[in-house]
Amino acid sequence: MAAKPIYRVVVHQQGEIWDLYVREIFQSELWGFIEVEEFVFDDASRVVVDPATEKLQRTFDGVKRSYLPLNAIVRIDEVEREGPLKAVKTDARVAEFPRPFSLPPRGEG
């Protein structure tokens, strides 16, 4: 039997770009969200400790399923094997899509 595929999900989250690895991904019943399940983490016996990896492992420790808003997802790739979790600060201006716009005040224009 073939092994389950692994997906790398790149997400923009509060000024950071997160690389997450999951085994299950599908459209949520909640409108505007993608569901991800079965998070895949690197081997815990590694000698080198990366603070960003540790942060993401703590964030998703005990999480069975996560709902990610569509406008926060940068890309989704099916990969051969998991890689290191990453949380990289970014100064890039990532705009949500679709971006809501404000209506002009009533009585004007």
Among the ranges given (31-35, 71-75, 84-88), the one the predictor scored with the smallest mean pLDDT: 84-88
pLDDT top residue among 99 and 40 = 40
pLDDT at position 57, please? Answer: 77
Q: Where are the beta strands (DSSP E) in 40-104?
A: 65-69, 73-79, 86-89
101: Cβ contacts below 8 Å, ≥ 6 apart? none
pLDDT at position 67, please? Answer: 93
pLDDT at position 100, please? Answer: 58
The model's pLDDT over 12-68, given as tens digits with 9 standing for 90+, comes to 887 788 888 899 999 988 888 999 998 887 665 555 566 777 777 777 788 889 999
pLDDT at position 24, please? Answer: 92
Q: Counting beta carbons within 10 angstroms of the beta carbon of residue 106, is it exposed (0 to 12), middle (13 to 18) or buried (19 or more)? A: exposed
58 token code pair = 């703590």
Spell out the domain ranges in the chain.
4-87
Q: Counting beta carbons within 10 angstroms of the beta carbon of residue 3, is it exposed (0 to 12), middle (13 to 18) or buried (19 or more)? A: exposed
